[in-house]
């Protein structure tokens, strides 16, 4: 049969088993008892949180139809998409378009730099640097730039040019004085 030691061990083992089962049951009961009210409050807050947040959007403005107007209905304005013919009323300031172009007229005046001056037997030459880094000599009376600019004076620190340009509004040729400063 069983010995008293074995019986005592079995009863202690069974008691421990029941004690563990009882403690786990109490723990589960405590957790579910505490958790019941919080879930209800949290769920209620989540459901009610979005009720106060309503977007306040203004209605779209009423779209009014555009009324079309005809450009230059009375014929007083010139068509901006057609080139105007140059009309020279006075004829005095009109540049000579038949003369051969000089090499320095191929470059815009903004891209030319005045880099120095040379004087030879009463003749003064200005040294101009082109965008392709070539240096050209010009004298008084030479043409420089794309606006028919004629060199009128060569000084130590600048060159004075007289350009003939066409007025945008009237189409007349006008003269303007331009300077090229010495670049160091």
Q: What is the pTM of this model?
A: 0.50
Q: Give the pLDDT of residue 150.
A: 92
For residues 94 and 53, what is the distance between their CA atoms, to the nearest angstrom?
Answer: 76
Calculate Rg over the CA atoms of the chain.
49
Nearest 5°: the CA angle 84, 86, 92 is: 160
Which residue in 151, 179, 150, 180 sits closest to 164, CA to CA? 150
Instruction: Name, in order, each residue with C-beta under 8 angstroms of 129's C-beta and a sequence gap of 6 or more.
Output: 112, 113, 114, 115, 135, 136, 183
Q: Give the pLDDT of residue 124.
A: 92
> Residue 155 corresponds to which tokens in the numbers above?
């000084």
For residues 10 and 16, what is the distance between their CA atoms, to the nearest angstrom?
Answer: 10
> Residue 164 corresponds to which tokens in the numbers above?
């003939």
Q: Could you tell me if 135 and 107 are in contact, meaning their C-beta atoms sit under 8 angstroms apart?
A: no
Per-residue pLDDT of the chain (184 residues; tens, 9 = 90+): 555 555 555 666 677 788 888 888 888 877 776 555 555 788 888 888 777 777 778 888 999 888 888 877 787 777 777 776 655 455 567 788 888 999 999 999 999 999 999 988 888 999 999 999 999 999 999 999 998 999 999 998 999 999 988 877 777 888 889 999 888 7
Q: Give the pLDDT of residue 162.
A: 92
Q: Which CATH architecture has domain 103-181?
A: Roll (2.30)
């Amino acid at each position: 049969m069983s010995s008293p030691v074995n019986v005592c061990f079995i009863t202690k083992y069974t008691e421990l088993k029941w004690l563990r089962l009882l403690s786990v049951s109490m723990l589960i009961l405590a957790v579910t008892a505490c958790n019941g009210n919080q879930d209800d409050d949290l769920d209620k807050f989540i459901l009610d949180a979005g009720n106060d947040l309503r977007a306040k959007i203004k209605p779209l403005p009423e779209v009014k139809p555009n009324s079309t107007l005809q450009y230059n209905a009375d014929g007083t304005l010139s068509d901006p998409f057609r080139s105007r013919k140059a009309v020279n009323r006075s004829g005095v300031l009109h540049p000579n378009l038949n003369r051969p172009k000089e090499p320095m007229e191929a470059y815009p005046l903004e891209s030319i730099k005045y880099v120095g001056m040379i004087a030879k037997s009463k003749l003064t030459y200005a040294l101009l640097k082109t965008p392709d880094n070539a240096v050209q000599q010009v004298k008084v009376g030479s043409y420089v730039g794309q606006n028919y600019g004629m060199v009128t004076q060569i000084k130590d620190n600048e060159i004075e040019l007289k350009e003939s340009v066409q007025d945008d509004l009237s189409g007349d040729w006008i003269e303007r004085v331009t300077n090229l400063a010495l670049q160091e």
